[in-house]
Amino acid sequence: MAPEGPAVQGTLDDLGTPLIGVTFVVVDLETTGGSARDDAITEIGAVKVRGGEVLGEFGTLVDPGVAIPPFITVLTGITQQMVVAAPRIEQVLPAFLEFARGAVLVAHNAPFDIGFLKAACAAQERPWPAPAVVDTADLARRLLTRDEVPNCKLSTLARFFRTATEPCHRALADAKATVDVLHGLFERAGAFGVESLEELTSFSRAPTPEQRRKRHLADAVPAAPGVYIFEDARGEPLYVGKSGRLRTRVRSYFTASETRRGVREMIGIAERVRTIVCASALEAEVRELRLIAAHKPRYNRRSRHPERAVWLKLTAEAFPRLSIVREVRDDESVYLGPFGSTRLAEEARAAVHDAVPLRQCTQRLTLRVISEGRAGTCVLGELGRCGAPCEGRQSPEEYAEHAAHARTILTGDVRPVVAAARARIDRLSEQLRYEEAAAHRDRLAAFVRGAARCQRLSSLAGIAQLVAARPAFDGGWELHVVRHGRLAAAGTVPPHAHPMPYVDALVATAETVRPGPGAAPRASAEEMECVLRWLDSPGVRLVEVDGTWSCPAHGAESVRRWIDDAYRDTDSRMVERAGRPMR
């Protein structure tokens, strides 16, 4: 799909935040005791560092407002006389939060220090800024062995890393010692491939022996966007993934930041990593979906079975009915979907039945069967929910009007279903029958969402050719050719080059795609939705559209936001009226 030429990285999402560029505020507290709820802060010390350079220090005693226990005085050296003239936490906390604003907090035994800071914020009714937090004690447990240090106390680690400041249970001195411990741990973590803040915060334990032994599998992986495939000794795909920077992503599987049990098991089986360099992130996402669907790798959990999608079908027969099927055929039937499960399709079908009195029996009904009296009857005819054509009470022409009404609903105008469902929900709510109202709400939501999806996909599938471009990361352009909803080609335009020759070449070499039946005739629904998301992203420009790209004026998209809001509002009203506290 991608022509030869330089690959372009579309985003920085996969690079992470390099540790050298992160601002850390290393904080330490002294308190009157160990309970954040019952005890108070007596001293705050903090050091701001970035790239190994100290940017600032913050240190102050704090008047706890209560007596300092004697054993705390013995431990810290902070006496009652020392804090008499000190500011209260109400004055100190805003200054500290401003000092630490935008930085990552670091503490030794972080739950203790962060717990006191959170409690102080809560006491002042001040929102906790929720920064990222690094616990040096936890990092030390992961990175150091018992042969190196007998425990992970700050004093022990300070001796191990030969810190310039000796911890002494005073806040600023302990914070300075923790800075040196942090930098020592960074060096140790670098040996495990931890280079970014994201890897550091997700770091949980050292790599397994298999991960260390197989790091060489990432050596030949290019630093480009694309798809990677872990394979076993027989060449069978074990796992398929995508990335905007293949080398960084594949290397992460062999570091301590990869903690998923199944993935670690997969690494033990893998013998090679095959990569496919792609011209864009969209091409990589589409290739990933196609490879997963084709090979069904055992360690991939999503997108393995697109064929399990179900459809709602208005059959093409003398007396049409709504049937749930797993395949779209090139017949005269009308299809709605795909739905993610049979349950959703059944709820959508029930919503249509509430608006249109179609027959709900599954028998094949013909004029001959009716005339010979061989058609079975059901109770729905007696209840007025069906015109009972099986008994001859409804002529083919009369029933055809209902079928045409249903066909109009499925192909674009959802207003009759919405009106019928709203009337029923309002009536049930007035009668305080909230559970039944919720059931009809669920039916309507399933129908609207399924119809909206079908209409979006059908609109894209109806376009014989669509060419679109988006500015690339390096100043050039990403190009994509989409035919009947299928990504037929992807490429790039170099910076400062005239785009049209590249467009013409890409169109000429794009995959030939024939039209087909249904909303997703030549690509999976997931692939088409990837394409639609890309087309809706900022900066995309349409170069060529061969066909009409639109959704029905009275289609499901016109009420989708309303149904989502109503869905939430109905839940809230039901909980409130039942006398239960709101969530």
> Would you call 169 a catalytic residue per the annotation?
yes
418: tokens are 């919405």
Before 225, cis peptide (omega within 30)? no
Distance CA 43, CA 197 (A): 28
Q: Give strand pairing partners of 276.
A: 227
User: Alpha-carbon torsion 28, 30, 33, 37, what sign?
Assistant: negative
Q: CA of 341: how far to CAs of 313, 347, 453, in Å?
A: 15, 10, 14
Distance CA 447, CA 419 (A): 13
Strands 104-107 and 133-135: parallel
Q: Which of 108, 169, 295, 498 is catalytic?
A: 169
Nearest to 517 by CA among 332, 368, 384, 349: 332
Cα dihedral 525, 291, 514, 447, rounded to 10, equals: -10
Tell me phi and psi for residue 486, to 5 degrees. Answer: -100, 135
CA angle 503, 508, 512 (to 5 degrees): 120
Q: Contact, 102 vs 17, CB < 8 A? A: no
Distance CA 26, CA 133 (A): 10
**Per-residue DSSP letter, 68:** P
Q: Contact, 140 vs 157, CB < 8 A? A: yes
CA angle 301, 305, 309 (to 5 degrees): 125
Q: How many CA atoms lie less than 13 Å away from 543 in the CB half-sphere?
A: 21
List active site positions.
169
